[in-house]
Structure formats: C-alpha cells, structure tokens
Amino acid sequence: MHQDTHQELTGRVALVTGAGRGLGYAAADALARSGARIAVVDVSEETARQAAGDFDAISEAEAYTLDVSDATAVSSIVEAVAERFGTVDILVHCAGISRGSTQKDEEGNWLPMESVPESDWHQVIETNLSGTFFMNKAVAKLMIAQNRGRIVNVASMSALVANKGLVGLGPYSASKGGIVSLSTVLAVEWAQYNITVNCISPGYMATEMGKRSQVMPGFKELQLDNTPVRRLGEPREFARAVLYLVSDDAAYMTGHNMVLDGGYTAW
Ligand SMILES: NC(=O)c1ccc[n+]([C@@H]2O[C@H](COP(=O)([O-])OP(=O)(O)OC[C@H]3O[C@@H](n4cnc5c(N)ncnc54)[C@H](O)[C@@H]3O)[C@@H](O)[C@H]2O)c1
C-alpha cells in the first residue's frame, strides 16, 4: 500500500470534518496513510462509519456524527475525541454545503439572488462559516494547551470570484469569503501558541459537490472553458496540499489562502 513521506505525522491525531466523502475523505485517507490517527466527523452517520472503517484498516480511526453548525455538539464531540485519542494535533475542516435546501424553483432551476430565501442564507452561513468558527475554537483549546497545532480550513475560489454561469451562490461565496478572513485572524492570534491556520480554496473538484452543476445543459463545457488546465481537480491533489500544510515543513506558512483551481481565478 502507498505510504506517504511525512513521517512526522505518525501517531498524530487528525480530526477531519466532512470526512465521509469527497475532499474530506481524500484528506483523511492521505493522513491515515501517513500514519495519523483519524477522528472522522460527518453529519452523515453512515458515511462517517464507512470511512472510519476504511481508515481504521490503514491506521486508527473512529467515527463521530455531528452537524458542525451546532456549537454545543461541536464542543462535546471534540471532548470525546480528546478522551479517545488524547488530543487533537490537526484539524482539516472540510464540512460544507453549497446551497440551502430550498434554493430551487418548481422547474428545478437555482433561484437568483433577489429570490434566495433568508432561511437558505442562514443555513449556508451557519453550516459553512459558523461551523468553521465553532470547530476551530473547540480544537484550539486543546492545541493551545499543548502549544502545537495545524488547522486547514476549506474555503473556495468562490470566496474570490463569482462562478461563471451560476446564480444564487451569494450565501456560499460570502460564507467562504468569511472563512478566509476568519482564518487570517485566527492565524495571527494563535501564532504565539505554535498553531498555524491556513485555507485551501479549491476550484471545481471531481466530487459530488463539484459535479452537481454539470446537470445544467452546457455547464460542464463552461467549467472546462473557464479552467485553464481544462479539467476538474482530483481529490488526491487536494489531499497533497493538506499534507504539506499540516507537515512540520509548513511551520512558517500561516494565514495563507492556497488557491487550488486549475487557474480559474487567474483569468
Ligand atoms: N468540490 C468542489 O468543487 C469544491 C470547490 C470549492 C470548495 N469546496 C469545498 O470543499 C469542502 C468539501 O467539499 P466536497 O466537494 O468534498 O463536498 P461533498 O458534498 O462531496 O462532501 C461534503 C461532506 O461534508 C459533510 N457535511 C455537510 N454538511 C455538514 C455539517 N453540517 N456537519 C458535518 N458534516 C457536514 C457531508 O455529509 C459530506 O460528507 C466544502 O467545504 C466545499 O464547500 C468544494
């Protein structure tokens, strides 16, 4: 089985949110292959359990079911992780949603910004932005106590630009912009505790979220035409960036937003 090169990660405890599938799964898998022990956190109990089973066969893993927008639940799950594994050394916060649950009209089209319901705004902001704050705050308490930590928050290229051809993505873009600026503040405040806080901002990645808009006629071509490298990003490529940011080599990088978008925002 492929073994990664970051030997210092052996035995470290990595809490990965949204690890049931997609980018979170890929990051947790790469961390497990580097010898880290994994706390798999996801709102979906079934995928969390399946993923934890996969990682437990490589390293050591446990599943936790949690909605990251519930601050009380976040604190108690992080306590449970610390009880089970001793601490949290690494947080990779991938849990996120792109739309609220009612953001479509009767014909199945996305609603434009002037029609986006307030409830959808709150759902996306609470899940993506508040969830990031709650999770960062809860793990930081452990990291401050041990004077060491690595945090990678997942924003998006949508924090920087409007996605061509999509409407109603304002809640998502605003939540991701908030994650980038929140992360810079946390990076500065927690540098004294030897904790780094960085973001990765993916472009269109080959996950269920990245492919979701491809059901719209012509959208796949639009995605590729606006991505200079002309393909979706692979979760594997995201995982490699995570491995770097959580490694000892990245000690001097903090408050950074690493854009991983095939050049989408370069145009
Ligand atoms: N895929 C892309 O193209 C892309 C692009 C830019 C940014 N991102 C960001 O990357 C992250 C991961 O995206 P992905 O493509 O893997 O998405 P995905 O939908 O495939 O996976 C997201 C995971 O997060 C979990 N999740 C959702 N809401 C949660 C909640 N409230 N609490 C706990 N877990 C929750 C889901 O159950 C799922 O397992 C997200 O933050 C997303 O916004 C993705």
Ligand 1 centroid from CA 98, angstroms? 8
What is the chain's mean pLDDT, rounded? Answer: 96
Instruction: Determine what percent of the chain is predicted with pLDDT higher than 90.
Output: 90
Residue 102's pLDDT is 87
Containing 62, the helix (H) or strand (E) segment is strand 60-65
Residue of 25, 64, 172, 264 with catalytic role:
172
Closest CA to 54 of 45, 43, 63: 63
Ligand 1 nearest atom to the CA of residue 42, by list position: 34
C-alpha angle with apex 27: 25 to 30, nearest 5 degrees? 105
Q: What is the pTM of this model?
A: 0.97
pLDDT value of position 106: 86
Residue nearest to atom 40 of ligand 1 (CA): 96
What pLDDT digit, counting tens, does each position of 39-49 carry? Answer: 999 999 999 99
Q: What is the pLDDT of residues 70-120, one digit of tens each?
A: 999 999 999 999 999 999 999 999 999 999 988 888 888 899 999 999 999
**pLDDT for residue 2:** 54
86: which 2 tokens? 């001793």
The tens digit of pLDDT for each residue in 208-244 reads 988 888 888 899 999 999 999 999 999 999 999 999 9
Exposure b/e, 212-244, CB count within 10 A at least 16 = b? ebeeeeebeebbeebbeeeebbebebbbbbbbe
Using the predicted structure, report yes or no on whether residue 183 has a pLDDT greater than 70: yes
Domains of the chain: residue spans and CATH: 7-266 (3.40.50.720)
Please state, in angstroms and rounded to a whole number, the distance separating the CA atoms of residues 199 and 201.
Answer: 6
Task: Assign 97 to helix, strand or coil.
Answer: coil
Please compute the mean of the pLDDT values over residues 138-157 and round it to a whole number.
98
Please check the confidence at residue 4 and state whether its pLDDT lies above 80: no
At residue 5 the predicted structure's pLDDT band, cuts being 50, 70 and 90, is: low
Task: Tell which one of 25, 64, 94, 265 to mutate to probe ligand 1, the residue whose CB is within 8 A of the most ligand atoms.
Answer: 94
Q: Which atom of ligand 1 is nearest to the CA of 67?
A: 32
